[in-house]
């Protein structure tokens, strides 16, 4: 990844502050050094509004406008760690939002595809990818249909919650691939990891409780 000088930051966005976040994630059970290193490298403060930049290295979700949030770093780390367990090449994210999760995946050297239903969020995320020199393929669409022309994917991350898994996404998963998604309603969700077996079945593991914004239908500008 090519980082521009302004990405290095100072004060509340300095390397020391980022290292403290990484240590906290380590203390809270994140073990994959590749993932921790990506979190150390990707400037999260450039994925939120300037007014929130000083809070960017707290382990908390933050608003990004349009009623949406950038996920909590621990959740990003946990989902990424689950995905890295299958040595993926090509990955799909549903719910680009700020673009931060996609940037973490790109920093890990993965071939990233991401889909967002809110056009304005996607436009801003694309600018961030460009200015950080990150190679991410993105599309403005209802992510519940996935991205069938570019599948199958070794891993699919869904970063918005639905009461049930979306079948179309399971179909776009390669054999041995994993789908990581929050499943549940507004108040109670579990992070679920499904792995596609050679016979096509999806074997499920529960990774614990999480809170995500809802997966909605249709597109908006
Ligand atoms: N991964 C994001 C988190 C964004 S929050 C980040 O790193 O910042 C969830 C995002 O999912 C929101 O931007 C929301 O607009 C989007 N979303 C919700 N339903 C969707 C759908 N059906 N298709 C695509 N994106 C969707």
- For residue 157, give the ligand 1 atom closest to its CA: 1
Tell me which residue of 213, 183, 217 sits closest to 65, measured CA to CA: 213
Asked, for residue 12, whether it belongs to a domain, the answer is no
Q: Which residues line ligand 1 (CB under 6 A)?
A: 68-71, 94-95, 97-98, 100-101, 115-118, 121, 142-144, 159-160, 213, 215-216
Asked, for residue 137, whether it belongs to a domain, the answer is yes
Selected residue with higher pLDDT from 127 and 4:
127
CATH number at 133 reads 3.40.50.150
- Closest residue by CA, ligand 1 atom 2: 97
Active site residue 71: yes
Total-model pTM: 0.94
Asked, for residue 25, whether it belongs to a domain, the answer is no
What is the Cα–Cα distance from 56 to 62, expressed in whole angstroms? 8
Q: What is the pLDDT of residues 5-41, one digit of tens each?
A: 444 456 777 889 999 999 999 999 999 999 999 999 9
Tell me how far apart the terminal alpha carbons of the chain are, to the nearest angstrom: 30
Asked, for residue 20, whether it belongs to a domain, the answer is no
Q: Which two tokens stand for residue 30?
A: 């994140």
Asked, for residue 8, whether it belongs to a domain, the answer is no
Asked, for residue 15, whether it belongs to a domain, the answer is no
Could you tell me how many helices (H) and strands (E) the chain has, helices first? 6, 9
101-130 mean pLDDT: 98
**Which residue out of 77, 122, 159 has the highest number of ligand 1 atoms within 8 Å of its CB and is therefore the one to mutate?**
159
Q: Which two tokens stand for residue 4?
A: 């521009």
Beta strands 202-210 and 90-94 are unpaired
Asked, for residue 193, whether it belongs to a domain, the answer is yes
Under DSSP, is residue 199 helix (H, G, I), strand (E, B) or coil? coil
Q: What is the pLDDT of residues 40-82, one digit of tens each?
A: 999 999 999 999 999 999 999 999 999 999 999 999 999 999 9
- Contact between 77 and 70 under an 8 Å Cβ cutoff? The reply is no
Half-sphere exposure for 31 (CA within 13 Å, toward CB): 3
What is the Cα–Cα distance from 161 to 20, expressed in whole angstroms? 29
Total domain count, the chain: 1
Domain that holds residue 150: 61-210
Asked, for residue 205, whether it belongs to a domain, the answer is yes
- For residue 69, give the ligand 1 atom closest to its CA: 5
């Amino acid at each position: 990844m090519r980082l521009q000088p302004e990405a290095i930051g100072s004060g509340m966005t300095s390397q020391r502050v980022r290292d403290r976040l990484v240590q906290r994630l380590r203390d809270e059970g994140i073990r994959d050094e590749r993932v921790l290193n990506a979190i150390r490298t990707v400037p999260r403060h450039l994925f939120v509004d300037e007014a929130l930049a000083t809070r960017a290295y707290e382990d908390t979700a933050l608003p990004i406008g349009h009623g949406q949030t950038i996920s909590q770093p621990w959740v990003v780390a946990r989902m990424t760690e689950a995905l890295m367990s299958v040595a993926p090449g090509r990955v799909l994210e549903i719910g680009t939002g700020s673009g931060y999760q996609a940037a973490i995946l790109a920093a890990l050297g993965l071939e990233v595809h991401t889909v967002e239903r809110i056009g304005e969020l996607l436009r801003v995320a694309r600018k961030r990818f460009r200015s950080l020199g990150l190679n991410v393929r993105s599309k403005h669409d209802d992510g519940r249909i996935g991205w069938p022309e570019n599948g199958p994917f070794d891993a699919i991350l869904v970063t918005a919650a639905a009461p049930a898994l979306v079948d179309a996404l399971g179909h776009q998963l390669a054999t041995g691939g994993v789908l990581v998604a929050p499943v549940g309603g507004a108040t109670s969700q579990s992070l679920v990891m499904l792995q596609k077996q050679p016979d096509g079945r999806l074997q499920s593991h529960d990774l614990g409780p999480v809170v995500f914004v809802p997966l909605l239908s249709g597109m908006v500008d």
